[in-house]
Structure 1
Amino acid sequence: MSSESQSRFGRGASSMVSAVFISKILGLLFIIPLQNMIGGYSYGLYYLAYPLYTIMLTLSTAGFPLALSKSISDLSARGRHREATATFQIVGRAMLIFGLVSFLLMWFLGPLYLKFTIPANQHTLQRDALPAIRALAPALLLLPLMSAMRGYLQGYLRLQPSGTSQVVEQIVRVVFILAGAFIVIQLGYGPRVTAAIATFGAVAGAVPAFIVLRRAVIKTRREHVRKTRTTEIPKIKARSVLWKLFVYSLPIAMGTLVLPLSQQVDAWTVPRELIASGFSIVAATVQYGIYSGEALKLIQLPLSFANAIGASVMPAITEAMARKDRNLGETRLLLTLRMTGFITLPGAMILSVLALPINLALFKSTAGTDAIALAGVMSIFSAIELVSTYILQGYDRFYTPVWHMGVGLLLKLVFNLLLIPLLGIDGAAIAGIIGYFVSSWLNMSALRKTTGLRIYFFRLTWRTWISTAILGICTYGILRLYEYMTTWMPIFHASRLLALGAVIAGLVLGGPIYIAVSIILRAVDQEELLHMPMIGPLLTRLSRSF
């Protein structure tokens, strides 16, 4: 049972990471043609709708999906599948209600939101932005229920449907937005309609993803209810179920707020400290935009991988605890930390070493390059902090990582105040490294006390660190060649095309070298390699030849 369950966890975690990778890459790539196609004004209207949508979606889901997955995994491990189904049905109905309320609030409060967001004298902008908001609102009718479905499936460690639905959602969304925008522009419609079509892509993507999830949920329910056909249908009070999940979801939601809260600390302190140091208001705002819109934006990709791994491990740890199978829980814990290192470390290295060409290729600027390099280091500790938070909460240590997060944020605030006057936005990045390092160190200490294992991240992943160091040498050679060409060949000075070529070379050459060294050093085992997207079987065959 443990071997089968462990394999299911490995496949599921890999599928989630693969789905996140594909979804994020699609999300990044389609922005370039969209912006060129619809123009700056329509693009601005498109993004004006999303803050309100994000707030409504967060309020309607919070930490419920992960709390539900934890509850389902506990019930399934005890063989109480009918109770798990009843719990899901209660939560599903609640999510439908929350989604309907969120939809109505977004639809009818859209004009009020725009009045607070846009200056009062900009009536045309307010009028043009409203259709984009209302075109986005119907997505809230489906997404909360979809989050409940994902929580139910993740509770049974059926993570592949969740990953598949994310990819399907993103593909349909991107295709609909680009095709829809092209058609309405050809028909001569203005920015209002163009932006509304673009935001409606979220609805178009949600529909097929909902179908994928619904089919997976029906199949899973039938499969497990069949095992308990003779069991009496439990009578569960909806109020008690929702209250229990609320108690679970509150610390889980708080634990996932570490990055938004860290960014909020920066929003409070970075512009203010820069102005106090002698920067003008405009210059301080520009510097803050470089830090938040470039350096912090780039670490979203490795952190989204860490979030996918963490969301997979929480129900897996809960299941092992419910089975009283300590060895299974420890195996999953160690596998999760190794996967976190294997995925996060090379991304951090490439981001730090190739910060200059990445900055120029993506943002047409060299300003903030040091902050981007430091953000690469930050991504390592923030990933460890995030994943260890999920693991601790899987062991029912709900509030421990929340307290550690608070310590990290306090240190972040203190060092922001100390370092920004001296180092500018680089000081904010260093403060972030310190804050995440301390909170991740505290989490790892708590894991050692909770499990009784002598778990040290560096000791556990030292082979991955060596592979990453060799990757760093390779990418540094590419950086030096790039710097030589820009220095001695004026035609390439500040060339975005050359910068993009350097980044692609780093990925194309560095990636295979990193994987090959990892296989030679046994930084990953064959089970982990087998479930890597697309190239897994090939890598597994190669690893057997060493």
Structure 2
Amino acid sequence: MSKVMRGAWILSLGGLIAKILSAVYRVPFQNMVGDTGFYAYQQIYPLYGIGMTFALSGFPVYISKQVAQARDPLAQAAVAHRALVLMAWIGFAMFAVLELGADLIARAMADAGLAPIVRSVGLMFLTMPVLSAARGYFQGTFDMTKTAISQVVEQLLRVGVILLAAGVAVQHAWGPYKMAAWAMTGAFIGGLGATLVILPAYLKASRGFPHAATPLSEYGHLFDRFVKEGGSIALFSALLILLQLVDSFTVTRGLIARGMAPAAARALKGVYDRGQPLVQLGLVVATSLSTTLLPSLSRSVARGHWTAFKQTARQLIRFNLGLSLAAAAGLIALMPSVNRLLFGDTVLTGTLRVYTLCIVLVALINAYNAVLQSLNRFRYTSYGLLAGLVVKMIANPLLTVRYGAVGAAAATVLALAVIVVLLYIQLPRSLQGADPRGFNARLMLVVGPMSVVVHLVAVHMQPQNRVETLWVFVVAVPLGVLLFVVLGAIFRLYTVREVLAIPYGRKFMKWWQHRFRKE
């Protein structure tokens, strides 16, 4: 158990670093290439994001489960080998679809100039087989370090290539499409670097194990299980990316149908895409602490400790809701300043405020999904996700044509709300219904005053440029954090047990009790 927990922490840390890198690089990138350049890159990013999710979380998690269940090292190596062969077929098929169908995909996005960028991202799928199989094998044998290192190497190389391409594009006056095509090759180079890191270790680990020929019928059965079980895990990991993919096909087209010129519609889509890194950053803050509780859920279910399971599930939901709502409220209160500081202007501030609500909904979805998957209710979670995607696909064109970019943001919020409701209905009854401690009311008493004070401070300082806006953050962000902590303690937002579950929670409790008794 000690080895498993240590490995889980290493993998969580690697994933957290990768997420932060993936969110942060977009800010300097947008500043370097402008709204149209950002649009060209972000239009195709969801195709990369889906492949990345398959290679990083979806298929490796499923492969690791099969490896862990294998009876001996020989059987484990055989499982990984069959997965490698199957993933090679899948990866090559996806590569061929993107290479051969690039022109068709670009036209479906209402911009034929995107075709070279689609072809660039297709290269990444050639690295997916080895990464998926090797990561799954090592995770299944509880060696998480190699997966974590490959994740960080992949993101560092990708981000480096993206920023390098942006810098060269600015110096040599490249067009936005050429710049985006070169930037997207970072996905392939990052995947290649991660492959070079993890492949030698995988070959060494599997050396000496003979691989018997596997009949095609067995691969067909294996493919069916990959799609149903591994696909379910991957789809939830790629939830926001799938919604962004719908945006790629509908927002620009909807803005043009609304009467905008194509060039203006593309630039506005680039501004709309600013919401994605903001949501990613908010979710990193909102869910990083709650990851410590996930292993406890599975352990409680496996041992039949249902009281402990309910307590842990409630803690997970409360942490995700409380921290995500605080992050979203803070961003909404500071949004004009956030927009100006990060992106240089305050265009579409109202739209970005609406989009920021996604932080709360996705954090709740992650919590509910963790509870349901620990109970092996994969089918219901998949149905909820598919229902949300259908709502997004129907609402997006209608609301974008009627209301513009804010309509697309509202469609995303609506789709996520549908998923939240459908997952909530599937939770055990003990986790539904009444709120005995009045947690929701206490949360409003904490977040409400915090966001009002932060907003008033930002309005009072009236920043006019980026330097003045930076001072708003220096003052308002620490003030907001302090207010959340102090008001949370005053209103007893979290129980003693929940506070102790947070890193440094014990030290905070001792400090708070000392101050309270002293007064």
Q: Fold-level match, TM-score > 0.5?
A: yes
Correspondence for 2:154: 169
Letter aligned with residue 224 of structure 2: W
Taking the aligned partners of 1:158 and 1:469, their CA distance within structure 2 comes to: 44
Asked if residue 201 in structure 1 is aligned to residue 186 in structure 2, the reply is yes
SS of corresponding position for 1:354: helix
Which residue, out of 453, 468, 477, partners 2:453? 477
Asked if residue 93 in structure 1 is aligned to residue 85 in structure 2, the reply is yes
Taking the aligned partners of 1:13 and 1:203, their CA distance within structure 2 comes to: 22
Which residue, out of 22, 25, 28, partners 2:26? 28
Q: Residue deviations 1:285-309, cap 9 Å, x none?
A: 5897388424456324345678989
Correspondence for 2:425: 445
Asked if residue 67 in structure 1 is aligned to residue 62 in structure 2, the reply is yes
Taking the aligned partners of 2:170 and 2:252, their CA distance within structure 1 comes to: 39
* 1:31 shift after superposition: 0.9
Q: Residue deviations 1:317-338, cap 9 Å, x none?
A: 6676566666776576455435
Q: For residues 13 and 510 of structure 1, do their structure 2 counterparts lie closer, same or farther at Cα, with a shift above 3 Å needed?
A: farther
Q: TM-score, normalised by structure 1?
A: 0.68
Correspondence for 1:247: 228
Correspondence for 1:383: 363
Assess if the C-alpha contact under 8 Å between 1:87 and 1:241 holds in 2.
no
SS of corresponding position for 1:243: helix
SS of corresponding position for 2:369: helix
Which residue, out of 17, 20, 29, partners 1:19? 17
Which residue, out of 495, 503, 509, partners 1:529? 503
Asked if residue 149 in structure 1 is aligned to residue 134 in structure 2, the reply is yes
Assess if the C-alpha contact under 8 Å between 1:157 and 1:315 holds in 2.
no
Structure 2 unaligned segments of length 5 or more: list them. 513-519
Correspondence for 2:515: none
Correspondence for 1:353: 333
Asked if residue 462 in structure 1 is aligned to residue 460 in structure 2, the reply is no
SS of corresponding position for 2:503: helix
Q: What is the correspondence of 1:341-420 to structure 2 with a 5 Å cutoff?
A: 341=321, 343-408=323-388
* 1:87 shift after superposition: 1.9
* 1:393 shift after superposition: 3.2
Assess if the C-alpha contact under 8 Å between 2:322 and 2:443 holds in 1.
no
* Matched residue count: 502
Taking the aligned partners of 2:434 and 2:214, their CA distance within structure 1 comes to: 42
Q: Report % sequence identity.
A: 23
Q: For residues 29 and 322 of structure 1, do their structure 2 counterparts lie closer, same or farther at Cα, with a shift above 3 Å needed?
A: same
Q: For residues 114 and 353 of structure 1, do their structure 2 counterparts lie closer, same or farther at Cα, with a shift above 3 Å needed?
A: closer
Structure 1 unaligned segments of length 5 or more: list them. 487-491, 531-538
Correspondence for 2:472: 502
Taking the aligned partners of 1:301 and 1:210, their CA distance within structure 2 comes to: 27
Taking the aligned partners of 2:350 and 2:22, their CA distance within structure 1 comes to: 24
Q: What is the correspondence of 1:128-147 to structure 2 with a 5 Å cutoff?
A: 130=116, 137-147=122-132
Q: Residue deviations 1:407-432, cap 9 Å, x none?
A: 55666688889988997765665565
SS of corresponding position for 2:320: helix
Taking the aligned partners of 1:70 and 1:308, their CA distance within structure 2 comes to: 23
Correspondence for 2:517: none
Assess if the C-alpha contact under 8 Å between 1:353 and 1:476 holds in 2.
yes
Q: For residues 376 and 310 of structure 1, do their structure 2 counterparts lie closer, same or farther at Cα, with a shift above 3 Å needed?
A: same
Assess if the C-alpha contact under 8 Å between 1:15 and 1:160 holds in 2.
no
Assess if the C-alpha contact under 8 Å between 1:416 and 1:427 holds in 2.
yes
* 1:529 shift after superposition: 0.9
* 1:172 shift after superposition: 2.7
Q: For residues 332 and 369 of structure 1, do their structure 2 counterparts lie closer, same or farther at Cα, with a shift above 3 Å needed?
A: same
Task: Provide the alpha-carbon RMSD of the alignment.
Answer: 5.4
SS of corresponding position for 1:396: coil
SS of corresponding position for 2:351: helix
Taking the aligned partners of 1:343 and 1:423, their CA distance within structure 2 comes to: 31
Letter aligned with residue 24 of structure 1: S
